[in-house]
Amino acid sequence: MRIAAGVLLIAALAAADAGAQVAKLYPVDEAARDPEFFAFRARLMVAIQKRDTAFLYSVVSDRIKNSFGGDDGIAEFKDLWRPEEPDSKLWGTLGEALAFGGTFDQAHNFFAPYWYAVEPSAGGDPFVYGVIVGSGVKVRREPSAASASIADLAFDVIKVKDWQQKPDSTEPANGRTWIAVELADRRPGFVAGAYVRSRVGYRAGFAKRGGRWLLEFFVAGD
86-105 pLDDT tens trace: 999 999 999 999 999 999 99
Instruction: Say yes or no: 145 and 166 in one domain.
Output: yes
Instruction: Say yes or no: 147 and 208 in one domain.
Output: no
Instruction: Say yes or no: 87 and 131 in one domain.
Output: no
pLDDT recorded at residue 70: 78
Instruction: Say yes or no: 213 and 103 in one domain.
Output: yes
Instruction: Say yes or no: 107 and 204 in one domain.
Output: yes
pLDDT recorded at residue 160: 96
Residue 24 pLDDT > 60, yes or no? Answer: yes
The phi and psi torsions of 205 (rounded to 5 degrees) equal -130, 135
Instruction: Say yes or no: 100 and 174 in one domain.
Output: no
Domain annotation covers residue 1 = no
CATH assignment of the domain containing 193: 2.30.30.40
Instruction: Say yes or no: 193 and 210 in one domain.
Output: no
Find the mean pLDDT for residues 69-78: 92
Domain annotation covers residue 122 = no
pLDDT recorded at residue 117: 62
Domain annotation covers residue 11 = no
Domain count, the chain: 2
Instruction: Say yes or no: 49 and 96 in one domain.
Output: yes
| Three-state DSSP class for residue 94 | helix
Give tens-digit pLDDT for 115-167. 986 554 456 788 899 999 999 999 999 999 999 999 999 999 999 999 999 99
CA–CA–CA angle 105, 125, 17 (5° rounding): 95
Residue 80 pLDDT > 80, yes or no? Answer: yes
Instruction: Say yes or no: 191 and 142 in one domain.
Output: yes
Which one has a higher pLDDT value, 173 or 86?
Answer: 86
- What percentage of the chain carries pLDDT values higher than 90? 76
Domain annotation covers residue 150 = yes
Range of the domain at 110: 31-117+200-219
Domain annotation covers residue 163 = yes
Residue 76 pLDDT > 80, yes or no? Answer: yes
Domain annotation covers residue 21 = no
CA–CA–CA angle 158, 161, 164 (5° rounding): 110
Instruction: Say yes or no: 170 and 67 in one domain.
Output: no
Domain annotation covers residue 14 = no
Distance between CA 60 and CA 139 in Å, rounded? 39
Find the mean pLDDT for residues 30-47: 98
pLDDT recorded at residue 172: 83
**Closest by CA position to 14, among listed 138, 213, 206, 159:** 159
Give tens-digit pLDDT for 52-71. 999 999 999 999 999 988 78
Distance between CA 49 and CA 62 in Å, rounded? 23
Instruction: Say yes or no: 166 and 105 in one domain.
Output: no
Mean of the per-residue pLDDT values of the chain: 88
Segment among 3-7, 106-110, 210-214 with least mean pLDDT: 3-7
Distance between CA 94 and CA 212 in Å, rounded? 19
SS3 content of the chain, % helix, strand, coil (to 5): 25, 30, 45
Domain annotation covers residue 52 = yes
Find the mean pLDDT for residues 29-53: 98
